Structures are given as structure tokens and as C-alpha cells.
Amino acid sequence: MSDADHAQALSDADAEAKAEADAGASTEDETEARAWIQSQSDSAVVIAYQLPKEHVGLQLVLQSGLVEQCRRLDDISEERFRLNRVAFGAPRRTAAEEFERMREFRRLDAESEELRSYTKAAYGAHDESVGFGTLYYAGPVQPGGLPRRVVGCWKAKAQPCAAGRAHGELHVQRVPQNEQIILILFYGVTKQEDSGRWHMAPIRSFRLEVRTNIARWARTLEAHGLSSMIQPFQSYRITAFSDWAEFLDDEELQQHVKIDPGSLDKLGKLLAGEGFLTESEKKRLEAEQEELEAKIDEIEVALTESTADFFVGQLVKGTVLGREENGVVLACEEENVVVRWGDGEQGAPMPRAEVTPAQWHLFLSHAQVDAADQVAQLRLLLRDVGVEAWLDMDALEITENTMCRGIMESNFFCLYLTEHYFERWFCRMEACFARRKGKQLLVVFEADPRHGGDPDYVRLVDRATAKYRGFRDWILSTEAIPMARRRFQRKAMISEILRRIGVEEPHEMTKIEKELHDEVTILRHEVSTLWTTIDVLQSRLSELEVSSP
């Protein structure tokens, strides 16, 4: 190639490169204006935008409103225009027609005010003037610039966009929850200096509609049956657990927001479950604990001062028909004690010298609202393997003193844990007394959510002790046993309980042995009933002999 040809080739390449650069610059200058929803979060919408070069750096204005409310307000404007319109040549309205027209105006005014109030509440702009259900924001487009807020309590922030061809992003925060909203973005906006008004051309705008998300805090309220609180809490920016705790302490704000007492009570329980307590709730719990401790002191004094050898409800042992049996004292007489032996229903008098006090293997403590049936079943399963368990529903007298005496007379304190256990005053009293007496703890927990339980034991403990954190470490100090309902699981559960309390597992009988054992048990029961009947007849005979001349 000659020098002239080489120079011509270089010249042609430079010309092509320059043409490409000019084409690129022209394309950049003629950038199409557009905007789109870049992303959404629980309480924010991100709008990405790109603008023609001549508009980059000018003012940006965002207009937002609720779709349905804005449409209805537009309809109301048309209805008002129709009511004001007078057809050419139409006769003058009568007094009745004018009265009806004015009444319709008042109805439309009331509906308009209601729609605006709803929109203001949704955006948190309670004290602002809002026209046609929309809120306005204005600010510079330059990266890092913070728009000046014109109306409302929510925020918008412009910042550069790292990805794509967008010139920037507009982060619209604190948007209404679960609403269809309009977002209208005006660019190339100018401001009139004398009036301070913004001049926004519809031709330089983007209209976007989006369904906002439900925030986690709103989903939490919804899951706990508190959906009615979502809108007012969104309106007043009460969107965190700590905010809710402060709200429950603020009676003036409660009256202003107008939340019913039932919902407030539910909210308090929800907060407690998350570990948040209001100041008033803390004071109430402290007062309850002081009262409970004072009651336990009183019971301890009464039990210490008692000198009786036997008492009603006490577990005793003695020999019946040549076999050692356990029984429960039904009554105390001067020389005898009336004892119900084994599974018998009636009591038989026994000389005091022939019975001795015995210890319950364990004391069954539970919240009846959750676990009455399950614990009664557990007691029967334990009794079948020779374990004597104190249960309030079987007690002859159910008083605070008899409950605490039952704990004192038991080797183990078996706590049947459900979600509402510590909410019951008697359950807390039993647990406090057992801790004070240093009783060995055995925990059986409910794993079925239908019965106030949770398969996750630590989560159940956290829920149960949400208001009563002083019990948490005590409960977690021992390995818990899940309540079993299936037959093969029950056997493993009972075996584990027996191992924990140091009771030897009974020999598993064959079918013939079981039949013989059942027959002997029936005979023993019949003999016991017979002896009781004989004693009653002898007593009546003695009375007749004394009364006869």
C-alpha cells in the first residue's frame, strides 16, 4: 500500500469514528423520557427514571394519591358540575327542586370530605390541606439531592441509579399499606417566583399505578385478628413494637385513634408475646408478684404451724388383705382414719397405728384451660405403672393450702407446659412454691398447637414466659418431655418419666398374666366394698342396740 493510500485509509477511519461518536451523542441527546417501578418493599416504592438531556438537573415533582378515592372524587366533580348546569331555556327551579339540589350538594360535600380524610389518614397527613386526594412533593433531580416536602408526612428521596440506563431513582417511603396508588412524576418543572407555584406540564409526566405491599408489622396485626388497627396505625406511624407499647401507655392518643378495649387487650398480649411490656403492665405484674409472694409466706406459716399427723387428701400406705396398698385419707377421726384404697370409691376406717404417711411421686401442675383432659389422661397412664401423682381434680379439697401441701408431700414437681400456663394465678403460685421448696423439676410440654402448644419447645417457653421472664431459665434448666398421644409414643414417654423420677419400670405381663391380674383386681375391689358395707351395717346395728330398751 502506498503512503497516499495509507493516509486515505486513516482519514476514512477517523471519519467513521467521528460519525459514530456524533451518532452516539445524538442518541444520548434524544434519550426517551420514561419511568418505571424499579422495586417494592414493605413500606416503600422505588421509581427509576430516565430523562432527555435538557431536563436533567431541573426540578422534579411527584404527585401521589389513592386510585379509587381519586376516581370517586373525579366523579363527584362531574356530579357537582351537572347539578350546577342549567339548560338553555329551561324553566326556573321550584323551591322543592332547589331544596333537593342543595341536599345532594351537602351529600357530595360530606362524601368528598370523607374520601379526603381517608387519603390524608393513609398518607399520615392529618393536619395538611389535601386537594382531590393527592399529595405533592418537589425536589431537584441531581444525584444526592433531597426534594423539598410540599405536603404530607411521607418522604421521597432522589439518588443516582447504579444499574441500567436510568438517570436516577426516586425512593417513595412510608406509602399506604395494601392500597392501589397513583404515582405521577413530573419533570422539567419550573417555579413562578412571585406566586411560588409549580408549573407542571402533563406532557412531561409519567403516570404509574402500583399495589403496595402489606408490611410485616401489618401482617402481624392481621394474623392476630387486629386488622382494624392497620389503617389508624399506618396513619399515625405507629409501626413498631416499641411504638405500640408507648401507644398502650398513652390514653389520650388511644381516645384520639378510637381503638376498642378488646383490641387493646389483644395488642397487649401480642406485645407481651414479643417481649414488649408497657409501663402500666410492668407495674401491674410487679403488684401481682408481690401479692403472690405474700400469699405464699402466709401459706408457709400455716403449714409449718400444723401439727396434725394425718390430714384430708394425704397419701398413706397400709396393709389391706395381706398386701401393701397406697390410699388417700378421706376423713380423720379420733382413733381411726378413713382411707380410700387403690381404685376404690368408698373409704374404710383404719386404726391410726396401721397406716403411715407416704410421699407422692410427683405433683401435676397444669393450666386447666389448655390441658385438663391431657393431664387427666397422663395421670391414668402413670397410675397404670404404679406412679402416684397428685392432681387437683382428684383432690377432696382444692384450696391454696392443700395445693401447697401436695407440693410439699411430693418428690417431683411435674409442670405441664402450655402457652397460657403462667397466665393462671394458681399455676404461678404452685411454680413459685415449688421453686422456693427446691423441688426437683420435671417438664412435660404440649407440642400440639390446637391445645396451646408448640412443637418448638424453646419457642413455647418464650411464649409462655413472655410476661414472666423470671421463670424462663428455671423451665429451661431441665430437658423437657413432649406429650405423646400415639400408643407407641406413650410407652416411650412413660418410660422416660419413670427413669427421671427413679421408679423401676414394671414387668410387662403376658396376656394370661394380665387377665389373672385384672380378675384379682376386681376381686380385691369387691372385697374392699364388702368390708366397707359390713362396717356400715355393724355401725347401724350398734346404734339400734343402744337405742333399743
Q: Are 96 and 150 members of one domain?
A: yes
**What pLDDT does 132 receive?**
33
What number of other Cβ atoms are within 10 A of residue 200's Cβ? 19
**What pLDDT does 497 receive?**
94
Q: Where a domain ends, among 464, 486, 501?
A: 501
115 within 8 A of 71, measured Cβ to Cβ: no
- Nearest Cα to Cα of residue 138 among 45, 33, 58: 58
Give a yes or no: residue 1 inside a domain.
no
Domain that holds residue 42: 32-211
Give a yes or no: residue 302 inside a domain.
no
**What pLDDT does 126 receive?**
54
Residue 321 gets the label, from left (phi > 0), alpha (psi -120 to 50) or beta, of left
User: pLDDT truncated to tens, each residue of the chain (549 aa)?
Assistant: 445 554 455 455 555 555 554 544 444 445 678 888 888 877 778 888 888 877 776 777 777 788 888 888 888 888 888 888 765 666 777 888 888 889 999 999 999 888 887 777 777 665 544 433 344 444 443 333 333 333 333 334 444 333 344 567 777 777 777 788 888 888 877 777 777 676 777 778 888 888 888 778 888 888 888 888 887 887 777 878 888 888 888 888 888 888 888 888 888 878 877 777 778 788 888 999 999 999 999 999 998 888 778 888 888 888 877 778 888 888 888 888 888 887 767 788 888 888 888 899 999 999 998 888 999 999 989 988 889 999 887 777 788 988 999 999 999 999 999 999 999 999 999 999 999 999 999 999 999 998 999 999 999 998 899 888 889 999 999 999 999 988 888 989 999 999 999 988 876 667 787 778 778 777 877 777 787 788 778 877 877 777 765
Q: For 93, phi and psi rounded to 5 degrees?
A: -65, 145
Q: For residue 77, give the C-alpha cell.
A: 366533580
Alpha-carbon Rg for the chain, nearest whole angstrom, is: 41
- Nearest Cα to Cα of residue 35 among 168, 151, 129, 211: 168
Q: Are 343 and 450 members of one domain?
A: yes
Give a yes or no: residue 202 inside a domain.
yes
Q: Are 355 and 418 members of one domain?
A: yes
Distance CA 497, CA 440 (A): 13
Distance CA 68, CA 118 (A): 11
Q: Are 90 and 161 members of one domain?
A: yes
Distance CA 275, CA 247 (A): 16
Q: Are 229 and 326 members of one domain?
A: no
Task: Provide the residue count of the chain.
Answer: 549
457 within 8 A of 515, measured Cβ to Cβ: no
Split into its structural domains, the chain has a count of 3
Q: Are 331 and 452 members of one domain?
A: yes
What number of other Cβ atoms are within 10 A of residue 444's Cβ? 22
Q: Are 182 and 325 members of one domain?
A: no
Q: Is the dihedral of CA 234, 236, 237, 239 positive or negative?
A: negative
What number of other Cβ atoms are within 10 A of residue 77's Cβ? 13
Give a yes or no: residue 127 inside a domain.
yes
Give a yes or no: residue 92 inside a domain.
yes
Q: Are 254 and 198 members of one domain?
A: no
Distance CA 149, CA 155 (A): 7
Give a yes or no: residue 186 inside a domain.
yes
What number of other Cβ atoms are within 10 A of residue 94's Cβ? 9
Give a yes or no: residue 7 inside a domain.
no
**What pLDDT does 3 receive?**
52
Distance CA 194, CA 491 (A): 89
Q: Are 55 and 140 members of one domain?
A: yes
Q: Are 152 and 137 members of one domain?
A: yes
Distance CA 401, CA 311 (A): 12
- Nearest Cα to Cα of residue 204 among 82, 355, 51, 96: 51
Q: Are 116 and 227 members of one domain?
A: no
Distance CA 531, CA 321 (A): 11
CATH of the domain at 316: 3.40.50.10140
Residue 520 buriedness (CB in 10 A; 0-12 / 13-18 / 19+): exposed
19 within 8 A of 35, measured Cβ to Cβ: no
How is residue 150 annotated by DSSP?
Answer: -
Q: Where a domain ends, among 276, 298, 324?
A: 276
Distance CA 166, CA 363 (A): 71
**What pLDDT does 549 receive?**
59
For residue 187, the Cα-to-chain-centroid distance in whole angstroms is: 45
**What pLDDT does 548 receive?**
65
45 within 8 A of 67, measured Cβ to Cβ: no
Give a yes or no: residue 320 inside a domain.
yes
Greatest C-alpha distance within the chain: 162
Distance CA 57, CA 136 (A): 19
- Nearest Cα to Cα of residue 234 among 64, 363, 119, 96: 119
332 within 8 A of 309, measured Cβ to Cβ: no
Q: Are 248 and 321 members of one domain?
A: no
Q: Is the dihedral of CA 101, 103, 109, 114 positive or negative?
A: negative
Distance CA 311, CA 502 (A): 27
User: How wide is the angle at C-alpha 376 spanned by C-alphas 371 and 380, nearest 5°?
Assistant: 145
- Nearest Cα to Cα of residue 180 among 213, 157, 136, 154: 213
Q: Where a domain ends, among 190, 211, 232?
A: 211
Distance CA 401, CA 391 (A): 14
